[in-house]
């Protein structure tokens, strides 16, 4: 079986500044590639699970999120890195109901099945309680960090 590090996006990968959907507002946090390389060296798959409720609220479009993710992938590709998958929920409870929005765990469970991941060997790093709640629902260990904390500062917590 495989193991994975699941990552929230805003506040973990990029600077949390509210609804981030434009490239000019998308600031990758310091140390991201160093941390991702270390996770890869330790044998982890890298999977993003993000709530993007601004889509349901009509603040931006799904295509805006796709453009940002393409930008992120190009940035990582420069250092021969990539995410194994990026899942994002387009819903918000005020507009539409779903089971993919964290704190629900559908996307984590989907990745566990798709990539044959052992949840007991895996981690979810997030900056909100709903991230760690989703992780626990799926049997994955959660790490709650303060938003915009470089991942290099918590590497010792993941073995």
Which are the catalytic amino acids? 8, 10
Instruction: Report the Cα–Cα distance between both ends of the chain, in Å, rounded.
Output: 16
**How would you class 119 by CB atoms within 10 Å of its CB: exposed for 0-12, middle for 13-18, buried for 19 or more?**
buried
17-51: b or e for each residue (b if 16 or more CB lie within 10 Å)?
eeebbeeeebeebeebbebbebbeeeebbbbbbbb
């Amino acid at each position: 079986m495989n193991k994975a590090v699941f990552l929230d996006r805003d506040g973990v990968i990029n600077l949390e500044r509210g609804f981030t959907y434009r490239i000019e507002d998308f600031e990758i946090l310091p140390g991201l590639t160093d941390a991702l390389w270390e996770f890869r060296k330790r044998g982890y798959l890298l999977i993003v699970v993000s709530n993007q409720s601004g889509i349901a609220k009509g603040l931006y479009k799904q295509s805006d999120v796709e453009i940002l993710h393409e930008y992120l992938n190009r940035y990582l590709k420069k250092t021969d890195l990539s995410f194994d998958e990026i899942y994002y929920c387009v819903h918000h409870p005020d507009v539409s109901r779903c089971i993919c929005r964290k704190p629900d765990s559908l996307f984590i469970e989907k990745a566990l099945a798709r990539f044959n991941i052992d949840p007991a060997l895996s981690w979810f790093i997030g900056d909100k309680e709903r991230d760690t709640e989703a992780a626990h629902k799926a049997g994955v260990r959660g790490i709650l960090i303060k938003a915009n904390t470089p991942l290099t500062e918590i590497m010792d917590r993941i073995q």
